């Protein structure tokens, strides 16, 4: 997931992961908030949220915001799941 990052960003990822791993309870907080705790008007379709419930779409790079890649991923997923 980090192979395309520059050296300094990779270093930041590695250094920030030196501590204890997050607990499962902490990891699911954002998903629980989005699925059960948030009101519909608090959610942005396709939004990227940092824990817990902090809309952070502005932090995404151009690749993550690419409409073409999103369309390609959607098509790929539909094709991969067509037999199910």
> Could you read off the pLDDT of 20-72 as tens digits, one per residue?
777 888 878 888 888 888 888 888 888 888 888 888 988 888 998 899 999 99
Question: Is the previous residue joined to 52 through a cis bond, with omega within 30 degrees of 0?
Answer: yes
pTM score, whole prediction? 0.52
Confidence (pLDDT) at 31: 86
Dihedral (C-alpha) 7, 56, 25, 12: value to the nearest 10 degrees? 10
Token code pair at residue 56: 């952070």
Question: Is the previous residue joined to 45 through a cis bond, with omega within 30 degrees of 0?
Answer: no
Host H or E run for residue 49: strand 49-50
C-alpha span between 1 and 3 (Å, rounded): 6
């Amino acid at each position: 997931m980090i192979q395309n990052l520059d050296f300094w960003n990779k270093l930041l990822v590695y250094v920030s992961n030196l501590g204890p791993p997050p607990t499962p309870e902490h990891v699911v907080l954002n998903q629980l908030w989005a699925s059960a705790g948030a009101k519909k008007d608090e959610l942005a379709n396709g939004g990227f949220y940092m824990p817990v419930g902090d809309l952070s779409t502005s932090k995404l790079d151009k690749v993550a915001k690419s409409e073409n890649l999103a369309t390609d991923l959607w098509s790929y997923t539909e094709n991969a799941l067509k037999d199910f």
